[in-house]
Amino acid sequence: MMGNLLKWLDHRTGYQAVLSDALYENIPGGSRWRYITGSMLVFAFVTQAITGLILWAAYSASAQTAWESVFYIQHEMAFGWLLRGVHHYMAQSMIILLALHMLQIVVDGAYKPPREFNFWVGLVLMLLILGLALTGYLLPWDQKGFWATNVATNLASLTPVVGDQIQQVIVGGTQYGNHTLTRFFAVHAGLLPALVVGFLALHMAFFRRHGITAEPSPDRSDQYFWPQQVLKDAVGCFVLMIAVVGVVVYTHGAELTAPADASEPYAAARPEWYFLFLFQMLKKFDSEFIGAIVVPGVVMGFLFLMPLTGRVKIGHIVNVVVLLVLLGGAGYLTVEAWNADHFAERNVAPGEKDFAGNADAKSAYTDKYEASEGFLKAQKQAHADYERLVELIERKGIPKEGAVALQRNDPKTQGPKLFTRHCRSCHSHDDGSGEGIVAESNTAPNLHGMGSRAWLAGLLDPQKIKTDHYFGGTALMETDAGMMEFVTGDLANLDADGKDLLDKIIVAVSAEAKLPAQAKQDATAAADGALAAGRAAFEESFDSYACADCHKLGDIGELGDAPDLTGWGSHEWLRGMIANPNHERFYPDNNDRMPAFANNADPERNQLNDHELDMLVRWLRGED
């Protein structure tokens, strides 16, 4: 019955001939493990095509939605991280398999006549796969992919005569944007896969035409493709599958960095590891034309000529040796690039190393160390920015302007950048952990924790007020009057009552700041009367002065010689101080050198606009 049915089916379709043609291909010398790489590449490509198609169903190629949709796949969609991870790591495995496949073909001499065309088709397939890797890297539209791909497309302009035009057509304009994504996506998901399918069909047709390259051996009898070689191929693909899934689970999927921002430098921009050797090579030549066009061109030219030079024995030996040297060289450059970036992790700081007076060695070492330090710092910052962004998205959701808007409006992300740009020439913001921002020259107080009880207690400490942390670098050091005199005189030898008085004042003045981190303590102080006691103490004299003699605090005292402490350290106070320190509330006569950052009626002319000022103050105060 079944037999009759199959017979009928075969008559209508001719499937048996196709099947036996496919399965009963003779393999001289029998099945071997070394033949499995081709099948594994087909498996990997099919995996990419299918996972890619599913990713496509969740991806949106525009500058405001690409990163966002990938983020959504990665963090929200059921097993999205697994799908994206498999696509990402399977792509990487294809690069390794390509190298192994080519090595096997060349070592076994399978590129020699009459198989020249198949070898050339294979090289074209290799270039297409590398093109897929390159175009895919940009699609998440994150900082890493954006900056690395930017370098790659800039290389296109090196093409003689029409380089600039080629670059514009690839990028979809002169600047990266929506059309860069739509173009890369069309090439990645449409053009290149279609070409791969076409060339793969040709590759297999040529392969079947000439058969497998193997010497019949007296010790090994011939076998058909089925079942021994099929089994070996299947095992190879299975191992690959397990390895890729293992890596995906271990790393919890492919990395995603912060969303692309053309105005935000990313010092850790590197291509994916398989292009790292090309990246490293660009550092080796004064002209990137040599590193990016000439050397790769010569190498590709050599590879294309191999079937012709391999006709003679010596040519074949040269081919094998050169190929091994090329792969070894690429491996070496990859390791070198990695080592250069991680140099600072594995070596001591230049200050701790003895150069025996050799200035050149020291300068070279310092350059290397600092370049690596910059890379590692940028990488760490990128991870921190990303973590922060995840937090913001969880809290606020992604606005239609895209996730970049969240970052650009986030005090915690922008505060340190604004501080570095505008305040760091004089102020530090450093908790001593080595992570903070250190001033170029400490000519003004360290603002870390400004407004808190601890910060104020330090300012009122006779031992500390003259240090760099507070007024050590300011012009106040040159006077022996006012605050300096008060702290180093009146507060120098306090008895128990005096200390108690001072503590009360600290609690009350610090409460003016309304710091979020101190909200609980301030509420307790308000409830148990400590605030009222502190305000009363504000008017009490120490040896010579009371605080209220110079400072105003709410309705106590009058505006006069010293800053108004009403709302000291609060959002409003800090905004006012930064906007114009010369205002009568702050330092009308004795401002040391602080500029007014936002004192112009025309906001265009202010150094900090309203929004920046707001973010800077929020960050200083630890507001979220």
Residue whose CB is less far from other proteins, 37 or 65: 65
- Indicate which single residue of 10, 261, 336, 468 sits in contact with other proteins (rule: CB under 8 A): 261
Closest contact distance (angstroms) between CB of 275 and other proteins is: 13
What are the structure tokens assigned to 24, written together?
A: 């009963």
CB of 193 to other proteins, least distance (A): 18
How far is residue 22's CA from residue 25's CA, in Å, rounded to a whole number? Answer: 6
Nearer to other proteins, 26 or 287 (CB): 287
CA 42/CA 243 separation, integer angstroms? 16
Burial of 450 (0-12, 13-18, 19+ CB in 10 A): buried
Using the rule CB under 8 A, give the single segment among 69-77, 262-270, 320-328, 494-502 that binds other proteins: 262-270
The residue range among 52-60, 89-97, 165-173, 505-513 that interacts with other proteins, by the rule CB under 8 A, is: 165-173
Strand partners, 556: 553
Residue type, 452: S
Q: Which is nearer to other proteins, 271 or 307 (CB)?
A: 271
Among 6, 127, 169, 249, binds other proteins (CB under 8 A): 169
- Quick check: 466 and 472 in contact, CB under 8 A? yes
Among 39, 60, 92, 157, binds other proteins (CB under 8 A): 157
The two three-digit tokens of residue 195, written as one number: 């070409």
The region of 148-156, 492-500, 511-519, 548-556 touching other proteins under the rule CB under 8 A is 148-156
How crowded is residue 443: how many other Cβ atoms within 10 Å of its Cβ?
18
For residue 224, give the 3-state DSSP assignment.
strand
Going by the DSSP 8-state scheme, the letter that residue 142 receives in this structure is B
Please, which of residues 380-409 interact with other proteins by CB under 8 A? Answer: 408
- Residues 435-464, mask of contacts with other proteins (x by CB under 8 A): -----x------------------------
- Verify binding: residue 285, other proteins, rule CB under 8 A: yes
Of 424 and 571, CB closest to other proteins = 424
State the Rg of the chain over Cα: 34
Question: Is residue 416 part of the contact set for other proteins (CB under 8 A)?
Answer: no
CA-CA distance, 437 to 447, in Å (whole number)?
Answer: 10
Q: Where are the alpha helices (DSSP H) in 187-312?
A: 192-210, 230-251, 276-282, 288-289, 295-309
Contact region with other proteins (CB under 8 A), list: 21-29, 286-294, 483-491, 501-509: 286-294
DSSP 302-350: HHHHHHHHTTSHHHHHHHHHHHHHHHHHHHHHHHHHHHHHTHHHHS--G
Name which of 407 and 566 has its Cβ closer to other proteins: 407
SS3 letters for 415-481?
Answer: HHHHHHHHCCCCCCECCCCCCCECCCCCCCCCCCCCCCHHHHHHHCCCCCCCCCCCCCCCHHHHCCC
Amino acid at 53: L
Considering beta carbons, is residue 172 or 472 the nearer one to other proteins? 172
Among 211, 331, 554, 595, binds other proteins (CB under 8 A): 595
What gap in Å lies between CA 26 and CA 442, rounded to an integer?
81
Least Å distance, CB 609 to other proteins, is: 9
How far is residue 600's CA from residue 215's CA, in Å, rounded to a whole number?
A: 86
Least Cβ distance, residue 317 to other proteins (angstroms):
34
Among 42, 158, 459, 556, binds other proteins (CB under 8 A): 158
Instruction: For other proteins, give the closer residue by CB, 228 or 381.
Output: 381
Report in angstroms how near the CB of residue 484 gets to other proteins at its nearest.
Answer: 27
* 175 binds other proteins, rule: CB under 8 A: yes
> What single letter denotes the amino acid at residue 259?
P
Q: Which is nearer to other proteins, 221 or 425 (CB)?
A: 425
Task: Let me know: does 620 contact 570? Beta carbons within 8 Å.
Answer: no
Q: How far is CA 36 from CA 119, 238, 239, 307, 517, in A?
A: 17, 11, 12, 22, 62
Write down the least CB distance from residue 430 to other proteins, Å. 16
Contact segment (CB under 8 A) with other proteins among 203-211, 213-221, 258-266, 388-396 equals: 258-266
CB 165 → other proteins: shortest distance, Å? 6
Residues with Cβ < 8 Å from 549, sequence gap 6 or more? 541, 557
Of 178-186, 493-501, 502-510, 531-539, the window that binds other proteins (rule: CB under 8 A) is 178-186
Kindly state the smallest distance separating residue 178's Cβ from other proteins, in Å: 4
- Name the strand (E) or helix (H) holding 26: strand 26-27
Nearer to other proteins, 165 or 544 (CB): 165
User: Number of residues in contact with other proteins, rule: CB under 8 A?
Assistant: 60
Cα 58 from Cα 401, distance rounded (Å): 19
* 503 binds other proteins per the rule CB under 8 A: no
Among 164, 222, 431, 610, binds other proteins (CB under 8 A): 164
Q: Tell me the two tokens of residue 618.
A: 């929020």
Range in contact with other proteins (rule: CB under 8 A) among 73-81, 280-288, 557-565, 581-589: 280-288
HSE toward the beta carbon, residue 510, CA cutoff 13 A:
28
282 touching other proteins, by CB under 8 A:
yes
8 A C-beta contact, residue 345 and residue 371: no
Q: Tell me which amino acid residue 433 is.
A: S
x-marked contacts with other proteins along 360-379 as a string, rule CB under 8 A: ----------xx--xx--x-
Restricting to residues 56-95, which ones interact with other proteins according to CB under 8 A? Answer: 63-64
Interacting residues with other proteins between 222 and 251 (CB under 8 A): none
> Smallest distance from the beta carbon of 152 to other proteins, in angstroms?
9
Q: Are 45 and 200 in contact (CB under 8 A)?
A: yes
The binder of other proteins chosen from 13, 287, 524, 541 (CB under 8 A): 287
Binding site residues, other proteins, CB under 8 A: 11, 14, 17, 63-64, 147, 150-151, 154-155, 157-158, 163-165, 167-169, 171-175, 177-179, 182, 261-263, 265-269, 279, 282-289, 291, 370-371, 374-375, 378, 408, 421-422, 425, 440, 595, 604-607
